[in-house]
Chain A
Amino acid sequence: MNVKFNNRDPVYIQVIQYFKEQIAKGIFEPGQEIPSRRELANRLKINPNTAQRAYKEMEEQGLIYTEGNLPSRITKDEQVLKMVREELILEAVSTFIHSVRSINVPLEEVLNLVEKEYEKE
């Protein structure tokens, strides 16, 4: 885990974002065990209270779950996993739209370019 945090967004939100990205990429698999809050704090070099806060929020959002005293795990809920993926895609697309809009490129030109460049990568 190597995350570069920015200084102006709450760290717990950046941690959640990181988890969502890892889930969407399939690096964190459904049902996979996740580190304890201390381990997470240690690995990401963040405050343990912040790690705790991130876990609490993720638990509430259904991204992770905990059974009894066992370590927490990534959700297996298909619906939630699908939503995470869609949310990230939508986010990326709106950032993209925002930047092409600011230079006044017509949609058609953008779409053509997207298609061409997408194949290249």
Chain B
Amino acid sequence: MIEVKDVTKKFGRKTVLKGVNFTAEKGKITCLIGINGVGKTTVMKAIMNLTPIDGGEILINGEKIHKGSYEKITFIPDTITMLPQMKIKEAFTFMADFYDSWNQKRAEELLEFFRLKETDRISELSKGNTAKVNLILGLALDVDYVLMDEPFSGIDIFSREQIAEVFTSHLIEDRGVIITTHEINDIEHLIDKAVLLDNGVVLKEFDTEEMRENEGKSVIDVMREVYRG
């Protein structure tokens, strides 16, 4: 389990995270929801220690996060970090050299799942296909937790559908997934848990099936209540 406890973060005079609390379990898909600029990406970067936090703590499996923890977690940013002139094959080799946890077999399975070819050059891919390659590079690592920043943003509907299918497939295994999104429509039935963020705080955290079962409310219903009051 990843536990984010009372995390605060300031950028200069601006407090971006004002005591963020939530948990994300293994085997579940947790979705950080909020409009752009509420701190979703900062939360992910804080978990990854890409940005130092000013207060609070982050635990993984009960332990305070340390260097070794990052063999268990990976972060997939919203844009690909590979050089555009690389072929997919070369990007794979780069990852294999860089990460001990690289799983070539799974990378190839994912490539097949998305119907992409090793010889495709990143610069020649569509936006949707670039997003898929970006996702493959993270998902092919043997880690317990995968953090994805806006995996559905700015790409065509069929790419979105295909990416959503990964979440239901065996390729995700029983890993813990945290994704951020500002658009819940496509993935309402895919997620286990919703964490509604606004202005640096978590306004609500809930299990989506329990919410439907106990209160008969969709994620969007709850969002409407929370954000619009």
Contacts and interface: CB of A to CB of B under 8 A. Distances in A.
Nearest to B213: A10
A30 interface: no
A42 B168 contact: yes
B157 interface: no
Contacts of A13: 213
B100 interface: no
A47 B191 contact: yes
Interface string A43-82: 0111111100100000000000000000000000000000
Contacts of B29: 47
A12 B209 contact: yes
Contacts of B188: 7
A38 interface: yes
Interface string A29-49: 000000000100110111111
Interface in B179-225: 188-192, 209, 212-213, 216-221
Q: Looking at chain A's contact residues, is the secondary structure mostly helix, strand, loop, or mixed?
A: helix
A13 B189 CA distance: 13
Contact of A7 (B28, B164, B165, B220): B220
B164 A45 contact: yes
B218 A46 contact: no
B19 interface: no
B189 A11 contact: yes
Contacts of A46: 168, 189-190
B171 to A, nearest CB: 10
Contacts of A41: 168-169
Nearest to A52: B27
A4 B177 CA distance: 25
A8 interface: yes
A45 B190 contact: yes
Interface of A: 5, 7-13, 38, 41-42, 44-50, 53
28 contacts: A7-B188, A7-B218, A7-B219, A7-B220, A7-B221, A8-B216, A8-B217, A8-B221, A9-B212, A9-B216, A10-B212, A10-B213, A38-B168, A38-B169, A38-B170, A41-B168, A42-B165, A42-B168, A44-B168, A45-B165, A45-B190, A46-B168, A46-B189, A46-B190, A47-B190, A47-B191, A49-B28, A49-B192
